[in-house]
Amino acid sequence: MLVKKRMLVLLLIVLKEAGPTAAAPAQTCSSSCSSTVCRCSGSDLASIPQDLPTTITTLDLWDTGITTLSQADFTRDLVT
C-alpha cells in the first residue's frame, strides 16, 4: 500500500510540474510584424493567428505547420 501511495504522489508531482508546459502553444506571430508585413515563417503554427495587426498587407506563412488554408481562416482582407 505504501508503494501505491508513493507512486500516486510522484504522479501528481509530475503532472503538476508538466501542466502549463504541456499545453498547446499560442497561435501567434505578431512579434514578427511590422506595420504592413507579418513574417510567421519557421514557426510551429497549426492555424492562422487571429491576433494579427489590422494594418498588415503581407502574411508570410512559409515553413509553418499549416497544411491547408480556407477563406474562413481570414477575418480581414489581406493582400497576398
Give, for 29, the enclosing helix (H) or strand (E): none
Output the pLDDT for position 23.
44
Task: Give the contacts of 80 (CB within 8 A, at least 6 positions apart).
Answer: 58, 59
User: For residue range 25-39, what is the model confidence (pLDDT) as tens digits?
Assistant: 455 676 678 889 988
Output the pLDDT for position 40.
86
Is the whole-model pTM more than 0.75?
no
User: For residue range 36-62, what is the model confidence (pLDDT) as tens digits?
Assistant: 998 888 888 888 887 788 888 898 988
C-alpha distances in Å from residue 58, one per residue of 16, 36, 55: 41, 6, 9
**Radius of gyration over every alpha carbon of the chain, rounded to an integer in angstroms:** 20
Task: Give the contacts of 3 (CB within 8 A, at least 6 positions apart).
Answer: none
Report yes or no: 57 and 80 within 8 Å, Cβ to Cβ.
no
